[in-house]
Amino acid sequence: MPLSTLAPERPFVAVGDIHGRADLLLDLDRQIAAHCAGWPVVLLGDYIDRGEQSREVLELLMTLSAEGTPPVTCLMGNHERMLLDFLDFPERRGPVWLRNGGLQTLASFGIAPPVGTQADAVALKALRARLADTMGEAMIAWLRARPLFWQSGNIWAVHAGADPDRPIPDQAADTLTWGHADFLRRARPDGHWVAHGHSIVDMPEVRDGRIALDTGAYATGRLTAAAIAAGDVRFFQTGPSR
């Protein structure tokens, strides 16, 4: 799908997975302000886990608003979903979250991991209570309110991917936050583009109607943003390869 088919309503910026790197987010924000001042910004989810500054990232993002200047929209990622699932079902969902970066998020809130096995029901319930108390109702409510997608013209922003054969508003939440088997295999037949994170790439990619922006910031130090305008995509990135 040629870049000439890109047709947002107005230029905007999409930001890839942050994963607990508040330092990189602040660096990238300076670049966005310098090159795309006033453009709407959409963050593609996965603000927490793996990196050491999850709490700081959430506190920063909670100060932003889709009604602000510039307008900023923060989407739901699968790691936010895992945290919320842990809060709702600590015994069943806790072990999966803890194995996938939850320990770093706990540490950012000053909470030690559970003693003994992570599958211990008593320990997981106690851990859930302490985390909920430390996060506070406002932060938890903010996470629950994250939208699953954002649209500008013929470009959709989602966290993980989408079924190419279904309109994005009609897709299941799990598909948009965890991905779809056909998403990376073929382009959508409707001519729409999808900007996404979730699937780590060495460098940001523009191909087959997809704009891939997860460059593994927590491990590589490279947090990526795309400045998307009609027929054009430019990338900004933190780290030594900037």
Per residue of the chain (242 residues), give pLDDT as tens.
788 899 999 999 999 999 999 999 999 999 999 999 999 999 999 999 999 999 999 999 999 998 888 999 999 999 999 999 999 999 999 999 999 999 999 999 999 987 765 558 888 999 999 999 999 999 999 999 999 999 999 999 999 999 999 999 999 999 999 999 999 999 999 999 999 999 999 999 999 999 999 999 999 999 999 999 999 999 999 986 44
Q: Using an 8 Å Cβ cutoff, are 138 and 61 in contact?
A: no
Paired sense of beta strands 224-229 and 205-207, if any? unpaired
DSSP code, position 166: S
Paired sense of beta strands 12-15 and 41-43, if any? parallel
Neighbours of 34 (CB within 10 A): 9
Residue in the structure block whose two tokens are 């670049």: 31
Could you give the CA distance from residue 135 to residue 186 in angstroms, rounded to a whole number? 40
- Tens digits of per-residue pLDDT, 61-79? 999 998 888 999 999 999 9
Name the pTM for this structure. 0.96
Taken in order of first residue, the domains within the chain and their CATH numbers are 3-76+148-237 (3.60.21.10), 81-141 (no CATH)
